């Protein structure tokens, strides 16, 4: 196993990407905040399948964390991350910028995305998507990749980024890859590291709730309010759970639906103690 090369300043990054371009190579980008798990590595492998050079960025972005959130304690595991990336093979370059390079003194420009950034995470975490859209656009401009890879677990984030790319004519393709789960269904997340063994078992209620919604739709239930209520009852049967939202919505606009009459996104955000977890899945009514 050989660790990938690491660069920490923009000039080195651009030189490496320019060399790849001069050799006719396609460039992929996998933006991360580190604490890599199999979900991140699946995005790296997706990039490797289409691109000769994959740039993996590792940067815990302060501007997407609100007051009282977990910026200071967010896992920072660079050595383990490089070891994990070493298992993916060659063609990887890791960009680990300093905060001062990303947000230099006097930085004052921010990206605000419209309606798709407003509900759910936008309501629960004011300013979060401003920080996400800004850092992602900066990384797009820094790397100059052909394709960027994101996971479906952060579905709203991916939709916000797609909206930004379309609205601002950013010359990059956005790929959204399937959520990677543990064998018991728990969506892989860097924040799972916060969970005790007991809390880890309790967290399975997110996936169980989404499976319940799917089962209800397959059994013929169509009323969104009734489905949400059943999910609420299941989650709240655990006294340690606090629900931020249970949403059934149009997957393109995120507008809530009253009836599950076509492909619908079910999305959850739940607080388990001090740890906040999100998950989602598509609901597909069977043909009538």
Residues assigned a catalytic role = 40
Q: In the chain, what is the greatest distance between 2 CA atoms, to the nearest angstrom?
A: 60
How many Å apart are CA 74 and CA 89, to the nearest integer? 27
Q: Residue 154 burial by CB count (10 A; 0-12/13-18/19+): exposed, middle or buried?
A: buried
Backbone angles phi and psi of 122, in degrees to 5: -65, -35
Cβ neighbours of residue 228 under 8 Å, at least 6 residues apart?
246, 248
How many Å apart are CA 98 and CA 18, to the nearest integer? 21
> Can you tell me whether residue 234 is helix, strand or coil?
helix
> Can you tell me whether residue 195 is helix, strand or coil?
coil
Q: Which two tokens stand for residue 99?
A: 């905060």
The two beta strands, 264-272 and 147-151, are: unpaired
Question: Measured between alpha carbons, how far is residue 102 from residues 49, 58, 87 in Å?
Answer: 29, 12, 28
Is-contact 218 286, C-beta < 8 A? yes
165 CB-side CA count, 13 A? 19
Q: Looking at the DSSP assignment, which residues form a beta bridge with residue 117? A: none
């Amino acid at each position: 196993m050989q660790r990938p090369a690491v660069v920490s300043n923009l000039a080195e990054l651009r030189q490496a990407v320019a060399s790849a371009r001069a050799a006719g190579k396609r460039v992929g980008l996998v933006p991360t905040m580190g604490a890599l798990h199999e979900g991140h590595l699946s995005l790296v492998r997706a990039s490797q399948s289409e691109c000769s050079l994959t740039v993996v960025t590792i940067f815990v972005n302060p501007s997407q964390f609100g007051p009282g959130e977990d910026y200071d304690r967010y896992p920072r595991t660079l050595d383990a991350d490089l070891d994990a990336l070493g298992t993916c093979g060659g063609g990887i370059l890791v960009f680990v910028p300093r905060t001062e390079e990303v947000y230099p003194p006097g930085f004052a420009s921010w990206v605000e995305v419209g309606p798709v950034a407003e509900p759910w995470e936008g309501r629960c975490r004011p300013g979060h998507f401003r920080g996400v859209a800004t850092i992602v656009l900066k990384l797009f401009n820094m790397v100059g990749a052909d394709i960027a890879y994101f996971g479906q677990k952060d579905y709203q984030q991916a939709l916000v980024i797609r909206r930004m790319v379309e609205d601002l004519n950013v010359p990059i393709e956005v790929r959204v890859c399937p959520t990677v789960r543990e064998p018991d269904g728990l969506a892989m997340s860097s924040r799972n590291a916060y969970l005790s063994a007991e809390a880890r078992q309790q967290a399975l209620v997110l996936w169980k709730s989404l499976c319940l919604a799917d089962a209800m739709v397959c059994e013929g239930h169509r009323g969104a309010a009734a489905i949400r209520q059943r999910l609420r009852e299941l989650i709240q049967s655990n006294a340690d759970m606090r629900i931020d939202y249970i949403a059934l919505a149009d997957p393109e606009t995120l507008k809530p639906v009253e009836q599950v009459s076509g492909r619908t996104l079910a999305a959850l955000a739940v607080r388990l103690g001090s740890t906040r977890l999100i998950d989602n899945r598509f609901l597909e009514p069977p043909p009538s």
